Amino acid sequence: MSSLHPVAASQSGCVLVTGGAGYIGSHTVRQLKAAGKDVVVLDNLVHGHRQAVHSLNVPLVEGDLGDEPLLESLFTRHPIDTVIHFAAYTYVGESVDEPLKYYRNNTAAPLVLLEAMRRHGSRAFIFSSTCATYGDPVALPLTEEHPQNPINPYGRSKLMLEQILRDCEPAWGLRSVCLRYFNACGCSFDGSLGEDHNPETHLIPRVLMAALGDIEAVTVFGTDYPTPDGACIRDYIHVEDLARAHILALDYLNRGGASIACNLGVGSGVSVRRILEIAEEVTGRPVPVRYGPRRPGDPPELVADPSRARELLGWKAEHPDVRSAVESAWRWMTGPRKGRYGA
């Protein structure tokens, strides 16, 4: 398939960012504004933070993705030509316990959004997908051609939407970029935007919470993996790099780019034990640790091959050293988040 489509998306319309009050969404909204884009955010604020949007001086529409009258009003009032879609539930364990919640929110609700896009002639979609669509790796680093065989409802709910987007293209001309994230981490370098989930499950903030005494200890799950130090290895990608990929994906579609899927990762891995060491170096504090058994479904190593994003989007990680992510997260954790940002 050619990488270009003969009909380019309009460059003068509005960008709708669903889930734009959340972690990666708010960082992306700020970069969109800096690039001079007209942006409106839709977020139900279940996991997002109102202040994250208000601080950026961007219109926030509070509501659910599956609310058809709300979406009809939104598309009628704003000349939306592109959607950047972040709104999703993302807790793997919860998806196993409550699969219908995940299929309803991550797969069914976006259908209402896509129907509104079709009615109003919006034909460009950038999707916040995940490496969880691959499942257990059969080869590393993971390329986009790796089999997609997710092992939990979260990954399957994301994969289903990827397939829906592919089916919409021949039906009505929708073009999409599916961005498959590896381990998002870090916060804005000025310390004003960051990661504040409830519950918090990501490793780096939990390590820093342990250093601060917000939690008693951080648990390391598994010390007997076939890796150099026995701990899991993951590809950690800074949130500012992730946000920038969405701007480049928007530019790609505006140039008439054809539908693609791209991995977003550094291309190398860091072990959980090394993250602990870096956190102690950055904070100057000990990190209380507990060691537990492996979690079911946790592969020893997940590392991206991000070469397609480099070739087609012109993107590569500008902050590949995970230390910069820990430093920026520490700045956030001891600054705005300490005051319960967005509460």
Which of 105, 84, 221 lies closest to 153 in space, CA to CA?
105
Rounded Cα distance between 96 and 239, Å, is 26
Contact 209, 200 (CB under 8 A): yes
Contact 130, 179 (CB under 8 A): no
Contact 120, 180 (CB under 8 A): no
> Exposed, middle or buried by CB within 10 Å (0-12, 13-18, 19+), for 284?
exposed
Contact 123, 173 (CB under 8 A): yes
> Exposed, middle or buried by CB within 10 Å (0-12, 13-18, 19+), for 120?
middle
DSSP E strands: which ranges in the chain?
14-18, 38-43, 60-62, 80-85, 124-130, 175-181, 183-185, 218-221, 233-234, 236-238, 260-264, 270-271, 289-292, 301-302
Q: Which ranges of 183-238 does DSSP label H, i.e. alpha helix? A: 203-212
Which of 78, 85, 88, 107 lies closest to 17 in space, CA to CA?
85
Residue type, 233: I
Active-site hit among 89, 103, 154, 252: 154
**DSSP secondary structure letter of residue 10:** P
Q: Determine how many CB atoms are found less than 10 A away from the CB of residue 243.
A: 21
Rounded Cα distance between 307 and 144, Å, is 10
Cβ within 8 Å of residue 262, ≥6 positions away: 144, 177, 178, 179, 180, 245, 249, 306, 308, 309, 312, 313, 315
Annotation says 103 is catalytic? no
Catalytic sites, residue numbers: 154
